[in-house]
Structure 1
Amino acid sequence: MRYFLEVAYDGTRFHGWQLQPNALTVQEVLDDGLRKVFRLPQVETVGSGRTDTGVHAAQQWVHVDLPQVLPPAEIQHKLNRILPPDIVVGQVMPVGPEAHTRFDAISRTYEYRITRQKNPFLVRHAHYLSRTPDVDSMNQAAQALLHLEDFTTFSKVKGDTKHYRCTITHAHWREEGDLLIFTIKANRFLRGMVRLVVGTLLDVGKGKLTAVQFRDAIERQDRRLASGAAPAEGLFLYRVEYPAGYFAQQKALFELAAKAAMKE
C-alpha cells in the first residue's frame, strides 16, 4: 500500500536529499528507518524534489510502498521514534497505487533567509549579511522572473535536465524584523537554481548589477552571467502543493486498493 510522508529536516549534516555513494543523505537515513521499523529487506522512497548539501526542508513529500494497511498515526509515531532529531515525519497520507510525489506536484515554494544581525541561533538556518542590500532594487529585478521562462542562466553546467523552462508565479523579498526572506514559487526548479537566483539578486541589492542587467542575463541564457550561488544554510524547501482535492481523491483510491488486496 502506498503512503505519502510529509518530511521536514535540518539539512546541515547531510549531503542533500538524494541517495549517493559514500555520503550521508536524508533519503538514506529515512529509508534505513523504514526498513528497521517495518522489517523490510528493501525500501524505495521517492521525494517530491531534491535538495542539495546543507539545504533544509520545512516540507518534503515522500512516497513509499508498505506491505500492509497501517494507521497513518502509527506509521508517523514509529518512524519518529527511530529517526534522528534533525528529521521529522509530519502528516502521513494514504494514496492510490499510482500516486507520485514528484510527478503529481503542481508547485514548489522555496524560501531563502538572510539575517542582518549576527545571531548564534541562526548560524545554520540563515545567511548573515553585515550590510542590508537594497530590497526595492532586488524586488524590481525579481519581476523579470515572472515574465520569462528559460532559466538556462541559472542552471548548473553539468545538469541532467532535458530543458530549462520553468513557470515562476511568485518571487518577492520581504522584511521580518532582522530577517530578509525571499520567497519563490514555480511549477519546477532546475538543480541549484534558487541559490543562483538569490546570489545574482544580492548582487543587484549590492549595486553590482542593475535590474535591467539582471533581466538581460536571463534573456541571454548564458550561465557565465549568473553570480555565485548563495550559501546553502539560508535555503529551505518550504512547501510542495498538489491539485485541489488531491488527497481526498487519493484516499478513496487507497481504500479501493485495500479492498482488492483483501479479496486476493
Structure 2
Amino acid sequence: MRYFIKLSYFGKAYHGWQNQPDSISVQEVLEEKLSLVLRSKTDVVGAGRTDAGVHATQMFAHFNHDLEIDVAELKYKLNSMLPKDIAIAEIFEVVEDAHARFDAVSRSYEYHIVKEKNAFLKDHAWYLKPALDLEKMNEAAAILQEYTNFKCFSKTRTDVRTYNCRIDHAEWKMKDDKLIFHITADRFLRNMVRAVVGTLVEIGQGKYPVSHMHQVIKSEDRGKAGTSVPAHGLYLTRIEYPDNIRIR
C-alpha cells in the first residue's frame, strides 16, 4: 500500500530536502523516524527538491508499507519523535501508482523580503534596504508567462532533460511590512525561483529596464540572469495533485 505524507519544515538546520552524503536533510530525518515507527527500513520520495536553508509550509512525500496503517496514530508518533522544525500535517492512503513527484500538477513558492531590519524575521525573510520599484518588478514578472524555456535561471550542472516550465502566475504583493513574490508553475528547475527573484530585484533597483527580462530569457545563459538571492527568504507553499489519487 502507498501513503502520502503532508508535512512542513523550517529549513535553516537542513541541507535541503533531498538526502546528502555528508549533510543532514529533511528526507533523512523523516526516513529515520518513519523507519523506527514502522519497524522496517522505509524510504520516502518527495515532491521535489528544496535547496539548503529553504523552507516549506507544504511538502508531500510518499512511502510504501505492506500492512494497513492507522494514519492518525502514525501522525501522532512521528510528530512526537521529529524535531520541532519538521511537522506532519496529514497522512493518507493513495492509489498504488500515485507518485509524490511525478503526479504533482503545480507547485507554488513565495519569496519574502523585508524593507526594515527586524530581529525576529532574520531567518524568515531577506532584509533588503535599497528601494524597489514594485510596478516595474510586476511588469517584468508578467513577461515570465510568455516563455517556456528557462535555462537562464537553472543551475549549470544539472541532470534535467528539459528546461521547459509552464509558469501560471508570477506577482509581487505587499503584505503588512513584507514584500512577497508569488509564483506558480507546473515544475521548477534547480535554483530557478531564487534566480528569478534576483533578476526581478535588479530590475526593481533600476539596474536594468523591464525589457531586460526578455533578453535574459532568450539568452539561455545563467550568467545573464540576476544573482541567486538568499535561501532563507524562500518558501515552498503549495503542491497540487489530481483528486483521484487519494483513496481515503
Q: Name the TM-score, length of structure 1 as normaliser.
A: 0.92
- 2:105 corresponds to: 106
**Hey, what's the Cα distance between the residues in 1 that align with 2:15 and 2:232?**
12
**Hey, what's the Cα distance between the residues in 1 that align with 2:77 and 2:234?**
29
- 1:26 corresponds to: 26
**Hey, what's the Cα distance between the residues in 1 that align with 2:17 and 2:231?**
13
- 2:37 corresponds to: 37
- 2:232 corresponds to: 233
3-state SS of the aligned residue for 1:50? coil
**TM superposition shift of 1:196:** 0.3
Match of 2:244 among 243, 246, 251: 246
Indicate whether 1:83 and 2:79 are aligned.
Answer: no
**Hey, what's the Cα distance between the residues in 1 that align with 2:117 and 2:33?**
36
- 2:176 corresponds to: 177
Task: Give CA deviations for 1:64-121 in whole Å, capped at 9, x if unaligned.
Answer: 1123112221111110010000000101111121110111110000000011121111
Corresponding residue pairs, total: 248
**Hey, what's the Cα distance between the residues in 2 that align with 1:116 and 1:73?**
42
**TM superposition shift of 1:166:** 0.3
Within a 5 Å distance, the mapping from 1:161-176 to structure 2 comes to 161-176=160-175
- 1:13 corresponds to: 13
- 1:138 corresponds to: 137
3-state SS of the aligned residue for 1:12? helix
**Hey, what's the Cα distance between the residues in 2 that align with 1:83 and 1:132?**
41
- 1:71 corresponds to: 70
Within a 5 Å distance, the mapping from 1:151-162 to structure 2 comes to 151-162=150-161
Q: Percent identity?
A: 46
- 1:47 corresponds to: 46
Q: Structure 2, unaligned stretches of length 5 or more?
A: none
Deviates further, 118-127 or 78-87: 118-127
> What amino acid is aligned across from residue 2 of structure 2 in structure 1?
R
> What amino acid is aligned across from residue 227 of structure 1 in structure 2?
G
Is the radius of gyration larger for structure 1 or structure 2? Answer: 1
> What amino acid is aligned across from residue 234 of structure 2 in structure 1?
L
- 2:115 corresponds to: 116
3-state SS of the aligned residue for 2:69? coil
In the TM superposition, structure 1's runs of 4+ consecutive aligned residues that sit over 3 Å from their partners are none
> What amino acid is aligned across from residue 91 of structure 2 in structure 1?
V
**Hey, what's the Cα distance between the residues in 1 that align with 2:14 and 2:138?**
32
**TM superposition shift of 1:131:** 2.8
> What amino acid is aligned across from residue 246 of structure 1 in structure 2?
N
3-state SS of the aligned residue for 2:130? coil
**TM superposition shift of 1:44:** 1.3
Distance 1:118 1:246, change over 3 A: farther
> What amino acid is aligned across from residue 223 of structure 1 in structure 2?
R
**Hey, what's the Cα distance between the residues in 2 that align with 1:149 and 1:170?**
13
Task: Give CA deviations for 1:180-235 in whole Å, capped at 9, x if unaligned.
Answer: 00000000000000000000100000001111011211012121101110100000
